Structure 1
Amino acid sequence: MSSTAKNQSRPGANQLKHLYQQARNPPKDPQTSYKGKTVLVTGANTGIGYQAAVKFAALGASPLVIAVRTQEKGEATKAAIIRETGNENIIVIPVDLSTFDAVKEFAAKLNEQVHKLDVALLNAGLAMPSFTKGPGGYEIALQVNVLSTALMALLILPKLRETAAANGTPSHLTFTSSKGYQDVEESWLDSSKTLIDQLNTEEGYSDQRHYMMTKLATMFVLQGVMDQHSDNQVIINAACPGFCKTDLGRNFSLVAKVFMGPIQYFVARTAEQGSRSLVSATILGPESIGKLWHDDEVLEPSRLQATERGAELYRETWGQILTILNKHIPPKDV
C-alpha cells in the first residue's frame, strides 16, 4: 500500500453522523451591511473563499479586494462576482503564498491601492496528501497555511489599526481555521522537535494530522498577533466553516477523490453554507478575540491549549515563527 493510501482519512461512523447533522443545520446567513467598508479576502477564487467574497460584495463591500494566485484567475473571479452581485467595485491583487517575497509585494500593492482596510479575511490554505517542499524550503502547507499567512497578518495589521483609529471603531482580522485543531493530542507531538520543525519533517507524515497541526499553528499565530496588539483596535479571531464541498483536496489522488466523493455528497455542507461562518466572524466583538467561531458559537480553547504544555508550545511556536519572519518584517510592525 502506498504512503498516500495510508494517509487517506476515513471518517468513523460517529463522525459521519455528526457531519450529517451539521450539514443539515448550517450557520445563519449574515445580513450585516459592509457598505463603504474595504474588505480583503485571500483565496477568493474558489470554494468558501469565493462564496465569502460573493457575500461581501452582495452586502456592499466597497471596495472588495480579492487576492488570488494569478492576475488571470483574479480577473475571472472578479467578473463572476460582478455577474452574481452587480458590485463592480472590486480590486484584484495577485499573491502566491508559497513565497515570502510574493506576500511582501502583495502587502506593498495593497497599501498603495487602498487608503483604508476595515476587514481582512485570511482564507487561503492547502491540504496535501504527501510531504511536499515549497520553493521557500518549507513544507508547502506549512508555508501557505502558517508562515505566509502570519507574515501577511503582520504586514497588513498597521493598515487595519490605522483604519480603526480613523473610524473610531475596531477593524477585523479573521483567519480561516478548523475545529479539527482541537483534536490535536499531545501524544502526536515529537518532544525532540518544535511544532514548526515537526511540520517541516517528512518522517511520520500523515495528511490528516499534518493538516490539523497546521491549524493549531494558525491558532498560535492568531494568539501571537493578538498578544502583541492587545488594545482591541482590531478584533482578531478565527472561523471554522465545517466540512464543506470544496476543492481543498484538489492535490489528492484520484483514488482518494473517488473515496471522498460520496461522503462529501451526503454529509458535507455547500461552500456557500460554510462561507457564512467566515463572513459572520468579521462582525463579532471583543468576546471573540483569540477564539474560534464555529456554527454561530464562540468556542473555548482546546484541551491542549489550556494546559501548561499548550502554553509552552504556543510560546515556542510563535517565537520560532517570528524568528523565521524577522527579516521580512519592518521592525515597527513586529
Structure 2
Amino acid sequence: MSTATKNQDQYYAAVKFAALGASPLIIGVCTQEKGDATKASIIRETGNEDIVIIAGDLSTFDAVESFVAKLNAQAPKLDVALLNAGLAMPSFTKGPGGYEIALQVNVLSTTLMALLILPKLRQTAATNGAPSHLTFTTSKGYQDVDETWFEPGQTLIGQLNSDAGWSDQRHYLMVKLATMLALKGVASRYNDNQVVINAACPGFCKTDLGRNFSLISKIMMSPIQYFVARTAEQGSRSLVSATSLGPESTGRLWHDDELLGASNLEDSARGAELYRETWDEILTILREHATAIDIRGAADRKPRTKDHGATICSPVDYFEVPGNYAGAI
C-alpha cells in the first residue's frame, strides 16, 4: 500500500511497486477521479492491472478511520505500507480537525493510520513467516532542528499547533522531527521483528511539495530545483528500497542508501525528554479523538491478546481495535 501519490516521487514509488509485481497494489488518494487517472497511468507504464484505489484524506481522524475501514474490507493481507502523506505550508493554517494542518496530516493522522494497520501487518507477517514492512516518509532535515528553537514551557506538539512566532522553514523541519519521534514511538512498541518499522527520506526532489506557496516563492525556488534537486524518480528509489530493509532499520531513517544515526538533539538529555513528551502527547490526542482505536495509558498495563493471536501491549501503553475493525483484521 502506498498512500498519497500527489507528489511525483510518491507516484514513481507506486510505479516501482507495480513493476515489481505488487498484487494487489493499494493506492490511497484524495479523490476517486485522481485515483482512476493514477491507476490508468501506472497500468500503461507497467502492465500491472491489479491495482486497488481507496479514496480518502488525512485531514481528520474520522477520515483516517474511514480509509482504514475500506482498506480492511478490500485487502485480505498487507505486506508493505508506505505512508507518504505530507504537507508543507507557507503560513499557519488550521485544518478541519482543529489542529494545524501539517501537524494533523504529517504527524497525528499518520501515526493513527500506522497504529490502525499494524494488526493487519502483524497478521500478514505471521501468515508469511517473514516480516511485513511499515515505512514513514519524512525528511533528514529534522536533524537540523536546534534546541534553541523551542519556546520555554511549550511542548513540540503545542508549538506546532500555535501561530506564535511562525516560521515556515522551522515549522516544516519541526513537523519532520515530530514525525520521526512518532515513528520511534510506534517502533519501540512493536520491536518483535514481525514488522520492520522505519522511515525514508527521498531527498530534495523536483516535486510539487511547495504547491501551497505563493507564485513568487515558486519562482525563487525554480533555479534551485532545476540545478540542485534530484528527479522525482530518483527520490522514489529511497522510498521503495526502505520497504525492503531488515530489522536493523527499525526506528531509523533511510537516506541515500544509508541508515542515518541520531541527531545531536536526539542524543542529548533534552532529546530523550522531548521524545517521551511528544509521544505521550500524541497518544493523549489520539485517545481523545480517535474512535476506532482504544489507547490505554500507564494505569492499564495488562497484556491483551486479540482473536487473531497478536499481543498488542507494551510497557507503557497498548491499543485495541474494537467493533467493525475486529472482524477485518
TM-score by shorter chain over 0.5: yes
* Superposed displacement of residue 122, structure 1: 0.3
Supply the distance in 2 between the matched residues of 1:102 and 1:297 (Cα, whole angstroms). Answer: 34
Deviations 1:149-206 (A, max 9, x none): 0110000010000001111100000000101000000000112111000000001111
Aligned to 1:211: 172
Question: Identity of aligned pairs, percent?
Answer: 73
Deviations 1:66-88 (A, max 9, x none): 00111111111111111111100
Supply the distance in 2 between the matched residues of 1:63 and 1:161 (Cα, whole angstroms). Answer: 18
Aligned to 1:125: 86
Q: Which amino acid aligns with 1:263?
A: I
Query: Quick one: higher RCO (CA 8 Å, sep 6+), 1 or 2?
Result: 1
Contact persistence 2:7–2:209 (CA under 8 A): no
Q: Which amino acid aligns with 1:137?
A: G
Question: What RMSD, in angstroms, separates the aligned Cα atoms of the two structures?
Answer: 0.9
* Superposed displacement of residue 46, structure 1: 3.1
Supply the distance in 2 between the matched residues of 1:162 and 1:221 (Cα, whole angstroms). Answer: 22
Contact persistence 2:93–2:101 (CA under 8 A): yes
Gaps of 5+ in 2: 296-311, 313-317, 320-329
Supply the distance in 2 between the matched residues of 1:311 and 1:59 (Cα, whole angstroms). Answer: 39
**Which of 137, 140, 146 pairs up with 1:179?**
140
SS at match of 1:305: helix
Aligned to 2:226: 265
Supply the distance in 2 between the matched residues of 1:79 and 1:87 (Cα, whole angstroms). Answer: 10
Contact persistence 2:80–2:121 (CA under 8 A): yes
Aligned length: 295
After the TM superposition, which segments of 4 or more aligned residues of structure 1 sit over 6 Å from their partners? none
Aligned to 2:108: 147
Supply the distance in 2 between the matched residues of 1:239 and 1:105 (Cα, whole angstroms). Answer: 26
Gaps of 5+ in 1: 1-39
When normalised by structure 1's length, the TM-score is 0.87
* Superposed displacement of residue 45, structure 1: 3.7
Q: Which amino acid aligns with 1:199?
A: L
**Which of 38, 43, 46 pairs up with 1:85?**
46
Supply the distance in 1 between the matched residues of 2:287 and 2:40 (Cα, whole angstroms). Answer: 38
Aligned to 1:108: 69
Mapped pair 1:252 → 2:213: yes
Mapped pair 1:292 → 2:222: no
Supply the distance in 1 between the matched residues of 2:6 and 2:211 (Cα, whole angstroms). Answer: 14
Deviations 1:184-230 (A, max 9, x none): 00000112111000000001111111111111101111111111112
Aligned to 1:47: 8
SS at match of 2:264: coil
Mapped pair 1:65 → 2:26: yes
